[in-house]
Amino acid sequence: MRKPRSAQARLTHKPPRIAAARTRAQAEPIRRAVTASATELLRALAPDESIPKVLERIGRSADVSRVVVFRNSPAANGGVAAELCYEWDAARVRPRKAGASSPQQMPLWDPEELIPLLTKGEPIRLVARQVRKPLRAMMQSAGVKSALLVPIFVDTKWWGHICFDDCRRERQWTAAEADTLRTLAEMIGAAIARARDLQHLADASRVVENSPVILFRIAAQSPYPLLYLSQNVSRFGYRAAELMASPCRYLDLFHPDDAPAMSADIRRIVNGDVPDVTQERRLRRADGRYAWVEARARLLTGPQHEAEIEGILIDIDLRWVNGVMAFLAAANFVVSAIHTVLLFGG
- State pLDDT tens for residues 73-114: 887 777 777 888 899 999 999 888 755 544 445 555 666 678
Provide the residue count of the chain.
346
- Collapsing DSSP states into helix, strand and coil, what is residue 165? strand
Question: Cα separation of 180 and 202, whole Å?
Answer: 33
Q: Does residue 151 carry a pLDDT above 90? A: yes
- Across residues 34-39, what is the average pLDDT? 87
pLDDT recorded at residue 131: 87
pLDDT recorded at residue 101: 47
Of 274 and 202, the structure prediction assigns the larger pLDDT to 274
Report residue 125 CA to chain centroid gap.
32
Q: Does residue 327 carry a pLDDT above 70? A: no
212 pLDDT band (50/70/90 cuts)? confident
Of 28 and 198, the structure prediction assigns the larger pLDDT to 28
pLDDT recorded at residue 334: 44
Average model confidence (pLDDT) for the chain? 80
State pTM to two decimals.
Answer: 0.59
Go through 257-278 and write b for each residue having 16 or more CB atoms within 10 A of its CB, e for each that does not: ebbeebeebbeebbeeeeeebe
- Across residues 193-207, what is the average pLDDT? 73
| Number of neighbours of residue 306 by Cβ within 10 angstroms | 10
pLDDT recorded at residue 335: 46
Q: Does residue 3 carry a pLDDT above 80? A: no
* DSSP assignments along 225-252, one per residue: -EEEE-GGGGGGT--HHHHHHSTT-GGG
Q: Which of 237, 217, 227, 214 is nearest to 294 (CA)?
A: 214
Report residue 282 CA to chain centroid gap.
38
pLDDT recorded at residue 138: 84
Q: Which of 12, 4, 9, 138 is nearest to 82 (CA)?
A: 138
Of 9 and 301, the structure prediction assigns the larger pLDDT to 301
pLDDT recorded at residue 108: 59
Question: Cα separation of 70 and 85, whole Å?
Answer: 6
pLDDT recorded at residue 42: 77
Q: Does residue 182 carry a pLDDT above 90? A: yes
Q: What angle do CA 183, 43, 158 make, to 5 degrees?
A: 40
| Number of neighbours of residue 307 by Cβ within 10 angstroms | 13
pLDDT recorded at residue 154: 93
Of 322 and 245, the structure prediction assigns the larger pLDDT to 245
Of the chain, the percentage scoring pLDDT greater than 90 comes to 39
Q: How far is CA 325 from CA 43, 331, 336, in A?
A: 55, 10, 16
Of 111 and 346, the structure prediction assigns the larger pLDDT to 111
SS3 content of the chain, % helix, strand, coil (to 5): 45, 25, 30
Q: Does residue 331 carry a pLDDT above 50? A: no
For residue 325, the 8-state DSSP code is: H
Q: Does residue 253 carry a pLDDT above 90? A: yes
Q: Does residue 213 carry a pLDDT above 90? A: no
| Residue 143 · residue 161 · CB < 8 Å | no
pLDDT recorded at residue 241: 92
| Residue 312 · residue 214 · CB < 8 Å | yes
Q: Does residue 196 carry a pLDDT above 60? A: yes
Question: Cα separation of 319 and 317, whole Å?
Answer: 5
Question: Cα separation of 51 and 74, whole Å?
Answer: 23
Question: Cα separation of 94 and 76, whole Å?
Answer: 27
36 pLDDT band (50/70/90 cuts)? confident
133 pLDDT band (50/70/90 cuts)? confident
Q: Does residue 312 carry a pLDDT above 60? A: yes
Which residues make beta-bridge pairs with 310? 217, 298
pLDDT recorded at residue 185: 94
Question: Cα separation of 292 and 258, whole Å?
Answer: 11
pLDDT recorded at residue 207: 61
